[in-house]
Amino acid sequence: MEHAMNRTNAILVTIILACLGLLGFAMYLQLVLDMLPCPLCVMQRYAFALIALACLLTLIVPKLKRAAMSASLLFSLIGGGLTGYQLWVIAQPMGSCGVDPLSGPLNSFFIAKLFPTMFQANGLCETPYDPILGLSIPAWACVWFVVFAIGSIYLLVNKPKEQSIFANKL
């Protein structure tokens, strides 16, 4: 049972660190390379942050594992949907993600006011940026959302096997 708990905790910590790393990389792209985030990018940042929070909640309160991993799965699916839509927008000639209608409400959230560098949208979805290792930024985000969804499903369905009280005596 302890082995299964260590594996669960390792997966949770890995997801948390990956989400934080992705958010940190987003800050690097924005602040160092001047890649301004569009509303869809910012919503994906929220999804990554919420996935990390759900995993952290599971680490702190293991009894909430089912609810927190369900939330993590939901945020992963929402993030994946956002990236799918963004990839579609980028593929459309003269397309737009709707910067005007989305930016105002998105930028008025209290978290966007508290952490404007991370959560304020001031870019355009259709701005072409060079691919990273062959994939666009939203394509990479989609890959990560799929990985987090798979991890969340694994943690939802994986139940630690109960050890017999005699297992330690053998």
Percent of the chain with pLDDT over 90: 52
> Mean pLDDT across the stretch 140-156?
96
Helix (H) / strand (E) containing 119 = helix 116-119
Q: Is 134 exposed, middle or buried (0-12, 13-18, 19+ CB in 10 A)?
A: exposed
Range of the domain at 37: 2-159
Whether 41 is covered by a domain: the verdict is yes
> Mean pLDDT across the stretch 9-34?
95
> Mean pLDDT across the stretch 147-156?
95
Whether 166 is covered by a domain: the verdict is no
Whether 57 is covered by a domain: the verdict is yes
**Band of pLDDT at residue 106, cut at 50, 70 and 90:** confident
Q: What is the CATH number of the domain that holds 68?
A: 1.20.1550.10
> Mean pLDDT across the stretch 80-89?
91
**Band of pLDDT at residue 160, cut at 50, 70 and 90:** low
**pLDDT at position 139, please?**
92
Whether 149 is covered by a domain: the verdict is yes
Mean pLDDT (the chain, rounded): 84
Q: Are 97 and 89 in contact (CB under 8 A)?
A: yes
Whether 169 is covered by a domain: the verdict is no
Is residue 162 over pLDDT 80?
Answer: no
Whether 164 is covered by a domain: the verdict is no
Q: In terms of Cα–Cα distance, which of 13, 72, 12, 14 is closest to 48?
A: 72
Tokens describing residue 96 = 């737009």
pLDDT, tens only, 42-74: 999 999 999 999 999 999 999 999 999 999 999
Whether 12 is covered by a domain: the verdict is yes
**pLDDT at position 128, please?**
72
Is residue 4 over pLDDT 90?
Answer: no
Whether 170 is covered by a domain: the verdict is no
**Structural domains of the chain, count:** 1
